[in-house]
Amino acid sequence: MKLDLSWEQAAKAMGGRVSSGNPQARFDSFFTDSRQAAPGAVFWALEGKAHDAHKFLPELARAGIGGAVVRQGKADMAAGIAQIIEVPDTLAALQSLSAYHRNRYNIPVAAVTGTNGKSSTKEMLKSIFSQKGRTCANQGNLNNQYGLPFSLLELGPEHALAVFELGASRKGDIEEIARLAKPWVAVITNVSAAHLEFFGDLETVYRTKIEIADSLPPGGTLVYNCDDPLLRRLDAQWGGNRTTFGCGEAAQMRVLDGKEGELALSYQGAEHRMPFSAPGRHNRVNAAGAAAAALAIGLGWKEIGAGLSAYKPLPGRLQVEKRGSATIIFDAYNSNPASAKAALDTLASSAQGPRVAVLGDMKELGAHSAKYHRELGAYAASLKLDKIFMAGPEMRHGYETALESGAQAATYDENFAQWLPQLKDAAAAGGTFLLKASRAMGFEEILKQL
């Protein structure tokens, strides 16, 4: 982060005022984690529902930090800190500063949202964009109302393009942060059941995801998955520029059947084939969305082919590893009904047997949790896998339904440690093993043991 602003300029961009110190001093960067304190550094005191970072100010003053951004009425807690900006709301001020900084750079920007595949699609676009020039993108999961501003503040004169993923856990989140990113092209990967504990129902998820369209400028392009039954509504609801993608005949950017290790796309009557190593049909669909967005933003097939050929899946997202004679597909960064079924499809299509699914709870499904775990158990049973291991309190519903659906080799315990020795023996004998669960299940420990 190199903002190259004066304190006075920064305060104006935030909607605040310099209440202490030199307004012409340089305001170049800041930190929000009190553990990162350093002499002369600037601390931004963020507040959340259960957290107020202002409480760290006295300790940070003793550590010798040089400045702070605080809420009005809290400056007394920053006694001893030389430079102070006071703002009405520190989160809103952070967003305002990031919006101001975004407007300093007139470069092509794409934004990606969706229940599943947004991180992968963002990384695919980053790989494509990087063929043209240096590209700014989210690091890690900095994709919400707290994280996206930090991603935007990384923009610099060295960047030729940018791509940002936008995450949400409640209605209005996408609208709030998409206006900060100001994309030229917006991508919606899909809409499915996730975070229902917060959204309530699938209709609200849909309404939230399509908020991204309202952030587009005149002439901007909406790119969406027309295989998705909810997103197909946009055919009638969206009157602006669009490009659809998917596997169906209606898709403008269509995924074709291709051999292993290859991506085949059809667009405007022409076929385009390129090396592509990411496993799973859903990753090919994500790639189609990335290709459509790249064309909409002004890049060509040369950059698309080179970028998608170079793309590697993110850690924890269909990450393929060899362990002796076993192939491990580790996909336990997150899990919801659609992504779990897609991962199971990838396992079922594997040529190397035995095929073994290791499934853990899908979190944040709220009152719908039992229903979706039962559906997943039935789906896993329908694939006739060689073995299914299940863990977690919610996955008990999936286990019971898997047995009712005819699964002959299903094992369950709330704690995966109980069946881990059996799994290790199975992996030692070889085969393909899918590890799929929400991150809270801690399946990284299983991966370490195999």
In a domain, 287, yes or no: yes
Same domain for 81 and 132? Answer: no
Question: What is the Cβ-side half-sphere exposure of residue 154, based on CA atoms within 13 angstroms?
Answer: 15
The total domain count for the chain is 3
* Mean pLDDT confidence for 417-446: 96
Query: Of 223-227, 269-273, 303-307, 331-335, which gets the smallest average pLDDT?
Result: 331-335
Radius of gyration of the chain (CA): 24
| CA of residue 199 relative to chain centroid, distance | 17
Give the C-alpha separation, 287 to 171, whole Å. Answer: 27
In a domain, 157, yes or no: yes
Same domain for 249 and 334? Answer: no
Q: Sorting pLDDT into bands at 50, 70 and 90, what band is 260? A: confident
Q: For position 18, which CATH number holds?
A: 3.40.1390.10
User: Which pLDDT score is estimated for 317?
Assistant: 84
In a domain, 34, yes or no: yes
User: Which pLDDT score is estimated for 90?
Assistant: 97
Give the C-alpha separation, 6 to 311, whole Å. Answer: 39
Q: Sorting pLDDT into bands at 50, 70 and 90, what band is 423? A: very high
Q: Sorting pLDDT into bands at 50, 70 and 90, what band is 125? A: very high
* Residue that finishes a domain, picked among 310, 343, 361: 310
User: Which pLDDT score is estimated for 345?
Assistant: 94
Same domain for 251 and 209? Answer: yes
| CA of residue 416 relative to chain centroid, distance | 27
Give the C-alpha separation, 286 to 415, whole Å. Answer: 34
* Mean pLDDT confidence for 95-117: 97
Contact residues for 207 (Cβ-Cβ < 8 A; gap 6+): 171
With beta carbons less than 8 A apart as the criterion, state whether 130 and 102 touch.
no
Q: Sorting pLDDT into bands at 50, 70 and 90, what band is 436? A: very high
In a domain, 100, yes or no: no
* Residue that finishes a domain, picked among 279, 310, 341: 310
Same domain for 63 and 121? Answer: no
Give the pTM: 0.87
β-strand partners of 244: 224
Same domain for 338 and 212? Answer: no
First-to-last C-alpha distance (Å) of the chain = 40
Residue 198 has pLDDT above 80, yes or no: no
Contact residues for 170 (Cβ-Cβ < 8 A; gap 6+): 198, 199, 208
Residue 99 has pLDDT above 80, yes or no: yes
Q: Which residue has the higher pLDDT, 21 or 364?
A: 21
* Residue that finishes a domain, picked among 87, 121, 144: 87
β-strand partners of 264: 256, 273
Contact residues for 62 (Cβ-Cβ < 8 A; gap 6+): 80
Same domain for 77 and 112? Answer: no
Same domain for 49 and 180? Answer: no
User: Which pLDDT score is estimated for 9?
Assistant: 98
In a domain, 97, yes or no: no
* Mean pLDDT confidence for 78-91: 96
In a domain, 82, yes or no: yes
User: Which pLDDT score is estimated for 353?
Assistant: 82
* Mean pLDDT confidence for 114-121: 94
Same domain for 191 and 302? Answer: yes
* Mean pLDDT confidence for 244-263: 94
User: Which pLDDT score is estimated for 415?
Assistant: 97
Same domain for 306 and 338? Answer: no
Same domain for 148 and 279? Answer: yes
Same domain for 292 and 429? Answer: no
Same domain for 294 and 343? Answer: no
In a domain, 29, yes or no: yes
In a domain, 96, yes or no: no
Q: For position 377, which CATH number holds?
A: 3.90.190.20
Q: Sorting pLDDT into bands at 50, 70 and 90, what band is 298? A: very high
Residue 2 has pLDDT above 90, yes or no: no
Give the C-alpha separation, 94 to 154, whole Å. Answer: 13
User: Which pLDDT score is estimated for 318?
Assistant: 87
Q: For position 231, which CATH number holds?
A: 3.40.1190.10
User: Which pLDDT score is estimated for 341?
Assistant: 94
Per-residue three-class SS string for the chain: CCCCEEHHHHHHHHCCEEEECCCCCEECCCECCHHHCCCCCEEECCECCCCEHHHHHHHHHHHCCCEEEEECCCHHHHCCCCEEEEECCHHHHHHHHHHHHHCCCCCCEEEEECCCCHHHHHHHHHHHHCCCCCEEECCCCCCCCCHHHHHHCCCCCCCCEEEEECCCCCCCHHHHHHHHHCCCEEEECCCCCCCHHHHCCHHHHHHHHHHHHHHCCCCCEEEEECCCCCHHHHHHHCCCEEEEEECCCCCCEEEECCCCCEEEEEECCEEEEEECCCCCHHHHHHHHHHHHHHHHHCCCHHHHHHHHHHCCCCCCCCEEEEECCEEEEEECCCCCHHHHHHHHHHHHCCCCCCEEEEECCCCCCHHHHHHHHHHHHHHHHHCCCCEEEEECCCHHHHHHHHHHCCCCCEEEECCHHHCHHHHHHHHHCCEEEEEECCHHHCCHHHHHHC
Q: Regarding beta strands 135-137 and 161-165, do their DSSP bridges make them parallel or antiparallel, or are they unpaired?
A: parallel
Per-residue pLDDT reduced to its tens digit, 133-179? 999 999 888 999 999 999 999 999 999 999 999 998 889 999 999 99
In 3D, which of 27, 14, 167, 168 has the Cα closest to residue 86?
14
Per-residue pLDDT reduced to its tens digit, 370-419? 999 999 999 999 999 999 999 999 999 999 999 999 998 999 999 999 99
Full domain range(s) for residue 30: 5-87
